[in-house]
Amino acid sequence: MSKRRQQTYEFADELPTGKPDDTHWVVYTRKKRDGPARWAGYLDAVDVELAMQYAREHYGLDEACTGILIHPHDALHDCEYGIDPIEGGDATGDDGESWIVFTQRRRGMIHIEAGVVRAPDADTALARARAIHADGRITNIRVVRTADCTEVHPDDVPLWRDHDMTYKFARGYSKGVRSKWSNFRSDEDLERYRRGDIKEHF
């Protein structure tokens, strides 16, 4: 063994114990300021601050959005899943905490924010949400205690990068490619070139 490998090192203090990314978070985004929050995906992070940072960096770059909402995965409560639409109910009341309601149109589709109910616990919240939203067209209802949700808007922190990100979208790709070609080709040459081998590209 070489002398370098035999060398020992002394540290002033012990390294802190690492914290695993053991909290699973659910992420939703808003396309419009007054629009519903729509399920976007999942991520792992040690706390809500880091989870929101990850959500902004990842999901905020995937699409232009006006808000990001997150909550721990353990905080969600779903009714039973099925192929057929769920049946309604007759539970009523407005006592207790606030719960955000998300509905799923068909199994495999995303959950979309549908409203808010008040209830003392998750089971009651699901029952009251079912009575309001089970209209014969949804297959699942989810409720999350509002206090367990964290949301940010562009007024709070940047969600969408200031520089041009339209190249990430199919709708922006053709425009972006054409503008790059136009920097060093005349319009006539560009049009002739477009009719050639790359006519399907932009």
Residuewise pLDDT in 10s, the chain (202 residues): 566 667 776 766 776 665 666 799 999 999 888 899 999 999 999 999 999 989 988 887 666 788 999 999 999 999 988 788 998 889 999 999 999 999 999 988 999 999 999 999 999 999 999 999 998 899 999 999 999 999 998 777 766 555 555 666 655 556 666 666 666 667 777 677 667 655 454 4
SS3 content of the chain, % helix, strand, coil (to 5): 30, 25, 45
pLDDT for the residue 58: 86
- Where is 23: in which H helix or E strand? strand 23-30
- In this prediction, residue 202 carries a pLDDT of 46
The predicted pLDDT at position 186 comes to 73
Q: Check: CB of residue 142 under 8 Å from CB of residue 76.
A: yes
Q: Could you tell me the sign of the dihedral formed by the alpha carbons of 100, 106, 107, 109, in that order? A: negative
Residue 146's SS3 state is helix
Q: For the whole prediction, is pTM greater than 0.85?
A: no
